[in-house]
Chains A and B, each alone.
Chain A
Amino acid sequence: RASAELQPLDSTISDSERFRDCRKFVMKCSSCHSSFDFGGIQASNKYQTTYSGIKCLSCQQMLSPLAVSAQLEHFLRHEISAYYAGWLVCDDCGIKTRQVSVYGRRCIGKSGKAYGCKGIMRYVYSDKQLYNQLLYLQSLFDVDKAKKRVLKPLVADHEFEDKENKPVALNQGELDALVEQNRDLFRSHQRVVDKYLAECGRRYVDMGGIFEFMSVFKR
C-alpha cells in the first residue's frame, strides 16, 4: 500500500498546481484588524513586503515577527486539529461522519447498521492534504521561490474581474533586494512550519517497504 500512495512527481509539479486545494493563510493586521490573504513576497493590494518585514496597506503599520509567526502557528495547529477531527466520507452515498466501522472502510450507511451501502469510506482531510498544507505554508516564506516567481499566485489571472485594481508586479531588482532583506525573518517563520514537518508522519516513507526487494543483497 505504501508504494501505491507514493507520488514521486510531486516535487516536479508547480506550486500552483500542487497547492491548488490548500487553504489560504489569512492574516490579520494587529493594528487595524483588517485581514488579508498572505501569499509570500508577491504583489498584493492588501499587504506589502518591505525591507523590514510585512506591512498592512490599510493602516500602513508593520506586523511584528511575533504577530506573523503566532498567526502562522495558530493556523497550522488549527489544520492539524481539523485533520484529527477524523471526518470520513463515503465515495458512494456521500455520507459524512466521524464514526468509524470496525472495518474502517465500510460505510455505516443511512440505516446506521453498517451494511447495505457498498461504498468505501476515506478521510475527508487526508494526511497527504495536511502534508501539502504544511508545505504550502512553508513555501509562503521561501524567499528563493519568491525570487523565481514560482509561488502560488494569490489570485489566479483569469479570476481578476477588475483589471484596473490588479496589483502591479514587482520588478526583478526590487524583488531580489526584498528577498535578501527578508531572508532571515522569513527563515525564522519557516522554522515554525519545520517544527511540524519534522513530526509529520507522511514525510517518512517506509524505506523497508520500498527497498524490500533489495534485502536479498544484504545477506
Chain B
Amino acid sequence: NPQKYKFRTMNQKLLEAADYLDEQIDSMAKILLEHYKFDSDEFGNPNIQSQSEILTVGRVVPDSPLTASDADLNSSSLFLETSRLGGIGQRVKLDVSSLENYSFFPGQIVCLRGQNLTGEFFKATQIYAIPFLGSPVSSSEELQSYEYGNDYLKVLVTAGPYTPQKELDYSHLAQFVERVNTEVRPDTLVMFGPFVDVNHVQIADGSARFDGLDKQPATLDDIFNMVVAPILRKLECLVILVPSTRDATTKHAAYPQDSFDRKSLGLGKNFKCFPNPATFQLNEFLVGCSNNDIFKDLKDVVAGSARKESRFDRIANHVIEQRRYYPVFPGGLRQKRSLKEQDESAHISGADLHLSYLGLAEFNTSLPDVLILPSELKSFSKIVQNVLVINPGTFMRQNSAGTYCEVNFKAPVLEELEKAGDDSYLHTVWKRARVDVRLGGL
C-alpha cells in the first residue's frame, strides 16, 4: 500500500525502533516453529546455563557496541541477541566452532540448536534455515491475457548516478533516451535514482551550471524540472521511477522511502512512480526492487561450503531467506575517517533506515519472480532460489561508462510451465528470461 510510505520522517522514536527489532525475532520464531513443527518446549534462553540442548531464535550482533558497521567480523566476534520474550533482550557470545557451513551477518535473524554449558557462551550445533516463501502463481486465463510484443517482453533496468562524478552533465542520459526510443525500443524501462544526487561534488560546492538554458535553475528541484524531466519526457515506453535516498527530488530522505510525485515533476502518464522498496507486477511477473545498496553493506562471516559460493549469491540468498530487502542492521554508513578518535569521524551518507517503518521493506506473501537490487558494485544477474536477481550497476561509473541491463522475458507457453495446482502455474521466469549487461552512458 503506497499510502503507508507517506509517513513523516525525522521523528524516529527509540522505543518504536526497539519494538520493531524485537518483533522481528518473535515473528520469525513463530514462522520457524510452525514450519519445523518444533515443540515449543524446546525453545530456551541461550543466555543462561543449561544441562540440555535448546532451540533459540535471535539476531546476530557484533560482540561489542563499539564495532563499526563496516568492520570485518570474524567467527569469534559474534553474539546472539534474544528477544524480550526469548531471553529478556540479553546477548550471549556465540560459539560457532561446531558448525560446518554458515554465513552470518549483523542483523540476521537465525534459528539455532545448541547449548550454554558454562553460562559464558552458547555453543551452536545446528542451524535451521528460515523457510522460503512460496513463488507467485497465475491461472491460465491470466497468463494468456498479457501482451508480449514479438513474443518477448523487453525490460531495461538502469540505476543512477546518471552523470559523471565530476560534472553534473546529463548529456549521457539524453543520448541514452534517444537510443532507447530509436533502437532498443523496450516495453518497460525501470529507472532507479539518484537522478539529482545531493552528494554530487558540483552540488556540494554549488558549482553546477547548465549551458544552453535561457534561465539557470535556482534550486535542485529546478534542476530536475528544467534539465532532467525534459530528457525523460521524451521516453515513449512505460517508465517506472524508483527514488534513492540520495535524490534531491524528494523530501522523504529515509528508507523506506515515499515515491516521487509524478504530477509535480511534470511527467506524463507513461511514467509510474513507485516507492523504495517496491513490489509490483509486470505482466505476470512479480518484481521486487530496493534501492539501498545491500551488496555493498552486507558483510558476512563465512565458513565451509558457503565460502565457495560467490559473495553475491550468498547475499541474494540472505535477502530471500530473511524475507526483507535490507536485512543488515545497523545500516551501512559512509564516514570520512578522522585520524583522531572514532567519534570525530565525519558523516558522509548512509542507509538512512527509519527503523519503525522497516516493516514496509519486508516481502509480502510470496517471493518475487525478479529481484532488482542496484549496487555500485559490478553489475550481474543470477538465479538464486529460482528468483532472477539483477544488479544493473550504475549508469555512469565515476567518469566513464557504467552499465544497465536489458532483460527479455519470453512469453509463457502453458505446456512448458510448471503446474502448482489445478489451474495455477508457476511463472518460472528463470527459464524464460535472458539478461544482457550493456554499456550505459558514454
Contacts and interface: CB of A to CB of B under 8 A. Distances in A.
Interface string B349-366: 110111100000000000
B206 A63 contact: yes
Contacts, number: 191
Interface in B67-94: 69, 79, 81-84, 89-92
Interface string A62-95: 0111111111011001101111111010000001
Given A30-B206, A98-B330, A98-B333, A112 B220 contact: no
Contact of B349 (A81, A130, A198): A81
A204 interface: yes
A114 B12 contact: no
Chain B contact residues (Cβ within 8 angstroms of A): what range?
35 or more
A145 to B, nearest CB: 21
B353 A74 contact: no
A181 interface: no
Interface stretch (B173-181, B247-255, B429-437): B247-255
B101 interface: no
B305 interface: no
Interface in B53-72: 61-66, 69
B12 A84 contact: yes
A102 B208 contact: no
A118 interface: no
Nearest to B219: A69
Nearest to A188: B218
Contacts of B18: 100-105
B203 interface: yes
Contacts of B66: 95-97
A77 B249 CA distance: 11
Contact of A80 (B10, B17, B221, B330): B10
Interface stretch (A44-52, A120-128, A148-156, A164-172): A120-128
Main secondary structure of the interface of A (DSSP, over half): mixed
A66 B251 CA distance: 18
Interface string B160-174: 000000000000000
A78 B347 contact: yes
B205 A71 contact: yes
A102 B65 contact: no
A66 B47 CA distance: 57
A115 B253 contact: no
Contact of A85 (B10, B218, B347): B347
A135 interface: no
Nearest to A77: B198
A199 B15 contact: no
Contacts of A27: 206
A128 to B, nearest CB: 10
B89 A106 contact: yes
Contacts of B7: 201
B269 interface: no
A109 interface: yes
Contacts of A200: 8-11
Nearest to A189: B219
Contact of B14 (A63, A64, A70, A105): A105
A28 B251 contact: no
Contacts of A77: 198-199, 248, 253
Interface string B322-361: 0000000111010000000001000101101111000000
B264 to A, nearest CB: 11
Given A70-B206, A70-B220, 19 more contacts: A28-B206, A30-B206, A71-B204, A71-B206, A80-B9, A81-B347, A85-B333, A86-B355, A95-B65, A100-B14, A102-B18, A102-B25, A102-B82, A105-B14, A109-B65, A110-B65, A196-B251, A198-B251, A201-B10
